[in-house]
Amino acid sequence: MLAFRNFAVSRSLLAVAQQQGRTSLGGGARGFSALTFQKIVGTGQAPDFQADAVYGDNSIKPLRLSDYFGKKYVCLFFYPADWTFVCPSEIIAFGEAYSEFQKRGAEVIGCSTDTAPSHFCWKATEPSKGGIGQVPFPIVADVSKKISSDYGVLHESHLALRGLFLIDKAGVVRHSVVNDFPVGRDVHEALRALDAIQFHESHGDVCPANWKAGEKGMKASFEGVKEYLSEK
């Protein structure tokens, strides 16, 4: 019953947003109408937060972002709502790639404006029945919507856009991307970007277009770009 109620609430929020023309879950670009992405772009200090989260072991307890600083990289991704459509496909995909993030010393953290009980029930529901199953990473309950607002992804429909932020061990955002409601993200691109960040930290070279782990980087100089492009 609780799972059904949470599903109904999420569907109601989305329906209201669509009626008001504030979201484009079915297509189009109007979902960005209230985006305040200027708040945090690329290399800013990641806003710290503490909020309840449902962890991989299904415990519900506070999560503080800064507890990871100095220890792990963080892939923080926002999604609009539990019990919806594109969202479970993304969360399950991040769960399937979780071991790859762990190999790179990174933690994955999901976040939406739903409650922790909603996250819990969604996890307890099998994917074949509309749930996400036992994904291994924590999912934060941004009930106050402050986290989504601080990261510049809170839409005026009170749902978070599909923002993704890669945060280094110093707590600095090194990569950020925001998708509209109907556009799911590529988990492999998040891993590629994380590889590029770590490659630059280790080697000093920069990573050109379409760079992948195992490939040569580019010296950050005029001579370096000439050398790189001459070899293509």
Closest among 56, 52, 73 to 138, alpha carbons compared:
56
Closest among 159, 151, 158, 157 to 109, alpha carbons compared:
151
Q: How many CA atoms lie less than 13 Å away from 169 in the CB half-sphere?
A: 8
Residues 13/25, Cβ–Cβ less than 8 Å: no
**Is 111 a known active-site residue?**
no
Catalytic option among 75, 87, 111, 121 = 87
Catalytic residues: 87
